[in-house]
A and B are shown apart, each in its own frame.
Chain A
Amino acid sequence: MVTRWLAPLDRKLLRDLLHLRGQIAAISVVVLCGVATVVAMRTAYRSLSLSQASYYAGYRFADVFAQVKRAPEPIARRVAAIPGVTAAQSRIVVEVTLDVPGLAEPATGRLVSIPDRRAPMLNDLHLRRGRWIEPGRRDEVLASEAFAAANRLEPGDAVDAVINGRWQRLRIVGVALSPEYIYEIRPASLFPDNRRFGVLWMSRDALEAAFDMKGAFNDLSLSLARGADQPDVIARVDRLLARYGGLGAYGRDDQLSNRFISDEIKQTRVSGTIIPAIFLGIAAFLLNIVLSRLVATQRDQIAVLKAFGYSNGVVGLHYLKLAFVGLLVGALGGLALGTWIGALLNRQYTQFYRFPVFAFELDATALGLAVLTTAFAAGIGALNAVRRAVALPPAEAMRPEGPGQFRPGIVEWVRADRWLALPARIIARNLERRPVKAGLSVLGIALAIATLVVGRFFLDAIRYIADVQFREVQRENVTVVFNQPRSAQVVHELAVLPGVLHAEPFRLAPARLRFAHRSRRVGLLGLPQDGQLRRMIDRSRRIVALPAEGLVLTRKLGEILGVRPGDTLAVEFLEGDRATRAVVVSGFVDEMVGISAYMSGRALHRLVREGGTVSGAFLMVDALAQDSLFGLLKRMPAVGGTVSRDATLASFEQTLQQSIGITMTILVGFAAAIAFAMVYNAARIALSERGRELASLRVLGFTRREVTTMLLGEQAVLTVAAIPMGLTLGYLIAVKLAGLYQWELFRVPLIISRFTYAYAVVTVAIAAILSGVGVRRRLNRLDLVQVLKTRE
């Protein structure tokens, strides 16, 4: 017997724990969910940032990048001599059309040169499988792992590429990763499409020969010394490259892959901070209520202990222990579950981003904070109740509690008692007499409902974004991109291909938008004013008309640049004659995905002073004819690449599923558990508070059913009252979160579906009904004689 060695009070503790196991378990569940959320999210965030940082450091990810048309090699050495630059690596980077086995449509390959020998290089590669390129072998390439995986390519396989107008076979000898292409994305595209776009690393020799770049380069990566003045370096690089057709150097912030991945990591930080904070706050609050009520039901026992001479301190400690056992079980469970989920999320992210390094760090501070918060809430709750109990002289506390202090109140004042049946009057007066307690119960259940709404809100928002973006904004199902600007005539040729129902041209001009000291590189998209396929649609699904003149910016881009409609921007075109023009911002469009700048095609042509050249076309294609059309497009020399909307949609959904979908699914599960624990505890405590009264009614001849109705009726009233409050609270938290989830990649709209509201209500209703069934079982076992004898 373990109990023999325990102090009597601890023996009582042990037995109380056994007796109250249902309620203690419910407390543990609440703590567990709160702590697990914090630990999982913070751990995932910390581990992901750490993985990114060590990947960047270990593989020498560059700090500054520049593209240029064609610069002689000595320029690279002059760049390397700029103060603050520690290394400069010149490269040849070209995009070519690929014919990938098993893929109907043409793919785009980005060929990136690597030094022949394994000399130290910036943006170093991590070889996953296969081997390095052998010197002198000009047809050997390393393929990026994402591209290889999407197309099931392995070392030994080959892809065909159009190199300088001729098909050439490239042999894949290895599969590699690069910190530069964690997020492997085609320029001006939002989501990776790993089947149709991939990076291939080739020997510098081969690329020099094929593209006539002997002794020259078109791409430069720099690493900077700690504390170097990056804007100054960029300005000097731009000056050096200007006469060779430099496209403007930029830092990591503008590097596509890094920007997206940093955005996503930032996003996990918000998910990992705000959401756990909300969960923890709710858990702490619920814990406080539950414990104070639980301890309050032990009033007579506290009195007896005091009568025997136990001090207030000892009694207080006893109940703190009771509280802390539930807490400890919850915290340990939360730690274990949170670490497990954190590791799971981390592995998910690491696989998704294909990090070659795998860092895992438990966020001990967050864990400590979570445990302290819940402990504090539990302690305050328990101690408050103990303090109230010990404030009474023991003799008084041992006497049955006097009849509740009921006085005529609102119910009587409005004469509601006339039309309320007696059980209803009991319920009404109970609520009226303890409005604070009733209010807290309502608030507790409401918070549980709110967490359910918040958890599902993100899933709704993602669905909404996908729906608007891919059904209303992008009505084309195929986008064709030309390998260089072409005459508008090409679009007519596309329009008559079999299977093409409708074609509209677009002009995409790479440009840097500058306003005051802020700037951003974007693809300036020129669209036909009367276009039907690509439309600008704001988050309320309104179509925004394209003005004849001026720029329309995604609102987020406007915020990044700090402009307002009517302001004049400097547009520095990054191709052609690289002119800088002043353009008025005529309006914003409240788009949810990406950042874009739109102009009417005509206005854009006037601006770059060219005829009706186009960069590509949006096509509406008969789904049945799609594959044969891709076959034709593959053979058209003008076509640099094609983008399929369905593939982009799939990629979008995968991206968001990976980043927030899983998290939200877990949260919804936690929210349901909290809701259940909360409602169950409220009903159980109500039973112990009212047991005596209910037993009296049973003795007077009331049936079980009638007595159950009286007890559960009150719970039902509280639950029903909590529903509108919970839905409102959930909405308000969603408003706050939607305000925080405003990234470049996407912005979460405040969309909560009816299904989500219904889901929250139904989940709580089910929790209430199951709790009711549990309580009813206890009510049936109520020992009438015993309850009448025991004093409260």
Chain B
Amino acid sequence: MEAVFRAHGLSKVYRMGEVTVPALRSVDLELYRGEFVVMLGPSGSGKSTLLNILGGLDHPTSGSVHFLDHDLATGGDKGLTRFRREHVGFVFQFYNLIPSLTARENVELVTEIAERPMTPEDALRLVGLGERLDHFPAQLSGGEQQRVAIARAVAKRPDVLLCDEPTGALDYETGKLVLEVLERVNREVGTTTAVITHNSAIAAMADRVIRLRSGTITEVRRNERRASPGELSW
């Protein structure tokens, strides 16, 4: 399988005044096209830092990281903005929808600047919100908002979908619904998907599970069989 992300000796040190806090210590990692990866770890394990670096939101302190032929370690703000615009879809714990735009418009926001996007309607149908196109975020439940966020992330047909605790702010039932959407997008569109979570139950639905602790990868495990989100429980 083709590796889309290749990271070698990736380190990140945060400087908080006079104290330095290592968030990542010499991480080597590859993500392959079309796979569904779950990165597990307690808080402070460095999983968010890793995701931010892969998503072009942050620079590593040392080491190299490439997305295909993009060098993410040394790319300037312009280059990283373009990388995010063209290749990455983000899903956040707190959805980060634009409150003044409807569901459709939140998706349009991204399809307008993408090269070969789906229509916003298709993207919203994909997440099961074909009927709520013209609702504002304030008129949607948390799960629905998160699904709009997923539609927004996948509508531009990104090469990779990065999700930071996508179910963190949702209740059990809604969380499972959101995971089903992520699983479907991965299956039907073939988008490489990385989900970070501290909820180990979610790991069962991944192709590969990467465990982090204190800034290092402690385990990489391949699941024999991907469980469907419906089978999960926590």
Binding site for B on A (CB under 8 A): 400, 402-408, 417, 422, 425-426, 429-430, 433, 692-693, 696-704, 784-785, 788, 791
A701–B145 contact, CB under 8 A? Answer: no
A402–B109 contact, CB under 8 A? Answer: no
Chain A residues whose C-beta falls within 8 Å of the C-beta of B200 in the assembled complex? none
Q: Given A400, A402, A692, which contacts B138 in the complex, CB threshold below 8 Å?
A: A402
A403-B137, A422-B108, A692-B96 known; A700 vs B86 contact (CB < 8 Å): no
Q: Given B81, B100, B113, which contacts A429 in the complex, CB threshold below 8 Å?
A: B100
B138–A404 contact, CB under 8 A? Answer: yes
Chain A residues whose C-beta falls within 8 Å of the C-beta of B100 in the assembled complex? 404, 406, 425-426, 429-430, 433
B138–A403 contact, CB under 8 A? Answer: yes
Distance of A422 Cα from B99 Cα, bound (Å): 13
Interface status of B71 (Cβ within 8 A of chain A): no
B105–A405 contact, CB under 8 A? Answer: no
B81–A701 contact, CB under 8 A? Answer: yes
Interface status of B204 (Cβ within 8 A of chain A): no
Distance of A400 Cα from B98 Cα, bound (Å): 13
Interface status of B152 (Cβ within 8 A of chain A): yes
A403-B137, A701-B86 known; A788 vs B113 contact (CB < 8 Å): no
Chain B residues whose C-beta falls within 8 Å of the C-beta of A703 in the assembled complex? 78, 81
Shortest CB-to-CB span from A456 to chain B, Å, is: 38
Distance of A429 Cα from B86 Cα, bound (Å): 28
Shortest CB-to-CB span from A738 to chain B, Å, is: 44
Distance of A417 Cα from B133 Cα, bound (Å): 14
Q: Given B84, B88, B101, which contacts A426 in the complex, CB threshold below 8 Å?
A: B101
Distance of A403 Cα from B105 Cα, bound (Å): 15
B134–A408 contact, CB under 8 A? Answer: yes
Interface residues of B in 72-101 (CB under 8 A from A): 77-78, 81-82, 84-86, 88, 90, 92, 94, 96-101
Interface status of B32 (Cβ within 8 A of chain A): no
Binding site for A on B (CB under 8 A): 52, 55, 57-58, 77-78, 81-82, 84-86, 88, 90, 92, 94, 96-101, 105, 108-110, 112-113, 134, 136-139, 145, 152
B57–A403 contact, CB under 8 A? Answer: no
Distance of A692 Cα from B58 Cα, bound (Å): 17
Shortest CB-to-CB span from A783 to chain B, Å, is: 9
Chain A residues whose C-beta falls within 8 Å of the C-beta of B112 in the assembled complex? 422
Shortest CB-to-CB span from B177 to chain A, Å, is: 19
B57–A702 contact, CB under 8 A? Answer: no
Distance of A425 Cα from B92 Cα, bound (Å): 24
Chain B residues whose C-beta falls within 8 Å of the C-beta of A406 in the assembled complex? 99-101, 136-138
Distance of A785 Cα from B49 Cα, bound (Å): 9
Shortest CB-to-CB span from B199 to chain A, Å, is: 19
Q: Given A405, A422, A704, A785, which contacts B77 in the complex, CB threshold below 8 Å?
A: A704
Shortest CB-to-CB span from B21 to chain A, Å, is: 14
Chain A residues whose C-beta falls within 8 Å of the C-beta of B109 in the assembled complex? 422, 697, 700
B90–A699 contact, CB under 8 A? Answer: yes
Chain A residues whose C-beta falls within 8 Å of the C-beta of B58 in the assembled complex? 785
Q: Given B96, B105, B134, which contacts A788 in the complex, CB threshold below 8 Å?
A: B96
CB-CB nearest in chain B for A422: B109
Q: Name 16 extra pairs, CB < 8 A, besides A407-B138, A426-B100, A701-B82.
A: A402-B138, A403-B137, A406-B99, A406-B101, A406-B138, A408-B134, A408-B136, A422-B105, A422-B112, A696-B98, A700-B110, A701-B81, A701-B113, A702-B85, A704-B77, A788-B96
A403–B81 contact, CB under 8 A? Answer: no
CB-CB nearest in chain A for B96: A696
A404–B84 contact, CB under 8 A? Answer: no
A422–B101 contact, CB under 8 A? Answer: yes
Distance of A549 Cα from B174 Cα, bound (Å): 97
Q: Given A405, A426, A698, A791, which contacts B98 in the complex, CB threshold below 8 Å?
A: A426
Q: Given A408, A429, A701, which contacts B84 in the complex, CB threshold below 8 Å?
A: A701
Report, nearest first, the 7 A-B pairs whose CB atoms are least far apart.
Answer: A701-B85, A403-B137, A404-B99, A403-B99, A429-B100, A696-B96, A406-B136
Distance of A700 Cα from B145 Cα, bound (Å): 16
Shortest CB-to-CB span from A713 to chain B, Å, is: 13
Distance of A696 Cα from B91 Cα, bound (Å): 10
Distance of A785 Cα from B136 Cα, bound (Å): 25
Chain B residues whose C-beta falls within 8 Å of the C-beta of A698 in the assembled complex? 81
Shortest CB-to-CB span from B218 to chain A, Å, is: 24
CB-CB nearest in chain A for B136: A406
Distance of A641 Cα from B110 Cα, bound (Å): 85
Distance of A407 Cα from B102 Cα, bound (Å): 9
Shortest CB-to-CB span from B141 to chain A, Å, is: 11
A693–B152 contact, CB under 8 A? Answer: no
Chain A residues whose C-beta falls within 8 Å of the C-beta of B138 in the assembled complex? 402-407
CB-CB nearest in chain A for B106: A422
